[in-house]
Amino acid sequence: MFTGLVEEMGHFVERRDHRYRFAARTVLEGVTIGDSIATNGCCLTVIAYGDDWWETDLSDETLSRTALGVLAPGDPLNFERAAKVGDRLGGHIVQGHVDGVGTIVVTPPDLRVAVPPTVLRYCVEKGSITIDGVSLTIVDVLDDGVTAAIIPHTAEVTTLGHKPVGAMVNLEVDVIAKYVERLLGGHLPA
Model confidence pLDDT, tens digit, residues 175-187: 988 898 889 987 7
CATH for 8-81 is 2.40.30.20
**H runs (alpha helix) in the chain:** 60-65, 117-120, 152-157, 175-184
Q: Give the pLDDT confidence score for residue 153 in this predicted structure.
A: 96
Q: Is residue 65 scored above 80 in pLDDT?
A: yes
Residue 16 binned pLDDT confidence (cut-offs 50, 70, 90) = very high
Q: Is residue 190 scored above 70 in pLDDT?
A: no
> How far is it, in rounded angstroms, from Cα 36 to Cα 114?
28
The answer to whether 80 and 37 are in contact (CB under 8 A) is: yes
For the chain, residues classed under CATH 2.40.30.20 are: 8-81, 100-184
- Other C-beta atoms within 10 Å of 102: how many? 25
Taking the CA atoms of 152, 67, 8 and 3 in sequence, report the sign of the dihedral they define: positive
The answer to whether 172 and 129 are in contact (CB under 8 A) is: yes
**pTM here?**
0.92
Q: Give the pLDDT confidence score for residue 10 in this predicted structure.
A: 98
Closest by CA to 94, choosing from 132, 49, 141, is: 132
Q: Listing from the earlier edge strand, what are the strands of the sheet with 36-39?
A: 42-45, 36-39, 76-81, 8-16, 19-23, 53-57, 48-49
Q: Three-class SS of residue 162? A: coil
CATH for 100-184 is 2.40.30.20
Q: Which of 60-69, 140-149, 151-160, 173-182 is predicted with the least confidence, judged by mean pLDDT? A: 173-182
AA letter at 111: L
The answer to whether 117 and 181 are in contact (CB under 8 A) is: no
Q: Three-class SS of residue 143? A: coil
